[in-house]
Chains A and B, each alone.
Chain A
Amino acid sequence: MVYVGPLVLGFIIGFILGTRIKQNPESKLKFGASVFVVLIIVAILMAYQLGPFPYYTDSPFANGFLAALAGIIVGKLTLGR
């Protein structure tokens, strides 16, 4: 059974933060899709190493961590432009 609470709250906070990520067009540094691909890989590894909270038996990952990253990426793609 998947615990919905951390997934939803983590996604909401991540979404709020993701909407604030806006690239400066005048800056020479560009953070494109490749940066976010690397971020996803690192986040999955980190979530596996962190493990779930005590008494959580739904998955071997830290679900809130992955939900927050998903929220940041979705928020960036939808409103963070």
Chain B
Amino acid sequence: MSTILKIFVFPASIIIMCYGVLTILGGHITPGGGFQGGAMIAAGIIFCLVVYGLDESPIKLSHDFMAGLESAGALGYVFLGLAGLFTSGFFLYNLGTDLYHIVPPAISAAFNYPDALHAGIIPYLNFVVGLKVLVGLSAVVITFMGVKGIGKDYIDDEEI
């Protein structure tokens, strides 16, 4: 890739990632949410991977990091669902808003998202989904680029 691209892409990818975070955070008010924001963050990471390559990319996602973040996202979602099940009897019950008034106020306050709308657990669900999606989409591209690099060793150009 050209030097101009290499200078421009890293700051641009950080801006793209910040915009993805904003999309995740506005999922309960504006169009967007966990999947869309996570995809935008992954787009920033993939932007770096395409331009700098897998080895020289300044944003490096290790296997352990990806496995940990993916697991944390999934477990966070299950935890929020089970918290609703154990306290109210409904899986994924919105403890923060508590529309049926069946949850103690202390638990309701603990799960309430502190912003202007008090959307309950919805922003937290967007958050954990965003973590899963950003890792999942990045992992696809990282795997493809890695396999492409491994494939070079096994392909015999003379036979082709």
- Contact surface of A with B, Cβ cutoff 8 Å: 3-6, 9-10, 12-14, 16-17, 20-24, 26-27, 29, 31, 35, 38-39, 42-43, 46, 50, 53-58, 62, 64-65, 67-69, 72
Contact = CB atoms under 8 A, between A and B. Distances in A.
B116 A20 contact: no
Given A3-B114, A10-B21, A21-B58, A54 B29 contact: yes
Contact of A9 (B11, B25, B55, B116): B25
Secondary structure type dominating chain B contacts: helix
B95 interface: no
Interface stretch (B12-20, B83-91, B101-109): B12-20
B130 A13 contact: yes
Interface residues of B, number: 35
A81 to B, nearest CB: 12
B51 to A, nearest CB: 11
30 contacts: A5-B114, A5-B115, A6-B115, A9-B123, A10-B21, A13-B21, A13-B24, A13-B41, A13-B131, A20-B60, A24-B56, A24-B58, A31-B10, A35-B10, A39-B15, A42-B11, A46-B15, A50-B22, A53-B25, A54-B29, A54-B30, A56-B115, A57-B116, A64-B21, A65-B21, A65-B22, A68-B18, A68-B21, A69-B18, A72-B18
